[in-house]
Amino acid sequence: MKKSAHDNILAAMDVDVWVSRARVKSKEKSKQLLPQHEEIIDIDMVWKTLREEVAVCTRCPLHKTRTQTVFGTGNIHADLMFIGEAPGAQEDKQGEPFVGRAGQLLDSMLHSIGFNRQTIYIANILKSRPPNNRDPLPEEVAACTPFLTRQIALIQPKLLVALGRIAAHFLLNTTTPLSSLRGRTFNYGQSNIPLLVMYHPAYLLRSPQNKSKAYEDLCVVKATLEKLLIVKDTP
């Protein structure tokens, strides 16, 4: 029997589970109220300015070795935002996060719960690639994360997902092992945005036996977001 596209996607993750899809509607708005400023601003112009600022950033030595910065991609009005660690070699070349093998797996993971890059937003802790894909240094994180903080503030997602140990440790200000962070809901920042933690797709490529756990996490992501949206839409 011919497999559906949905079955093929789950097969790519080595998970033989069926799940219904849900469509996520993009919010069509060009202006937004930022509570910290209490004034209406032109979101498109703010995003353009922020992207240009990142592109020429020299706050840390990584600007000397990068090909280009990797700003982020997706829907700037997204309810769901994924945050990874740092650009890899392919991301450094193409200027977009998660475009290598790990990115292909992430795409499959997203499709398995009815999402894609156009319905969410994806960004990294660092905007420049560390040489040889080493872990980010504390001073690099300190220099770069104000950009991420501003992205989160502009998007105001209903749910954040930290992909991997480094993203989780920064966003939650903890050193707790990732295995102990999975399956729990945390709150990020003063706005208390709900946050979930998952394995990084690159880790899943090295440890495919954990793909079933990642799929469980994805189902939690979907269910949590649906609950949050129901609460938002309740009069």
DSSP 78-116: -SEEEEES---HHHHHHSSSS-SHHHHHHHHHHHHTT--
How far apart are the C-alpha atoms of 112 and 69, rounded to whole Å?
29
Structural domain contains residue 74: yes
**Is the pLDDT score of 7 beyond 60?**
no
**CA nearest 82: which of 120, 136, 112, 45?**
120
Structural domain contains residue 24: no
Structural domain contains residue 171: no
In DSSP terms, 82 is beta-bridged to 122, 161
Please state the rounded mean pLDDT for residues 84-94. Answer: 96
> Residue 113 belongs to what domain range?
40-155+200-233
The enclosing domain of 103 has a CATH number of 3.40.470.10
Question: pLDDT band at 40, cuts 50/70/90?
Answer: low
Report the chain's mean pLDDT, rounded to a whole number. Answer: 87
pLDDT attached to residue 23: 38
**How many domains is the chain built from?**
1
Question: pLDDT band at 28, cuts 50/70/90?
Answer: very low
More confident residue, 12 or 102: 102
pLDDT digits (tens, 9 = 90+) for 143-192: 999 999 999 999 999 999 999 999 999 999 999 999 999 999 999 998 89
Q: Which two tokens stand for residue 38?
A: 């209490």
Q: Given CA atoms 129, 207, 223, 10 in this order, what sign does their dihedral have?
A: positive
Question: pLDDT band at 20, cuts 50/70/90?
Answer: very low
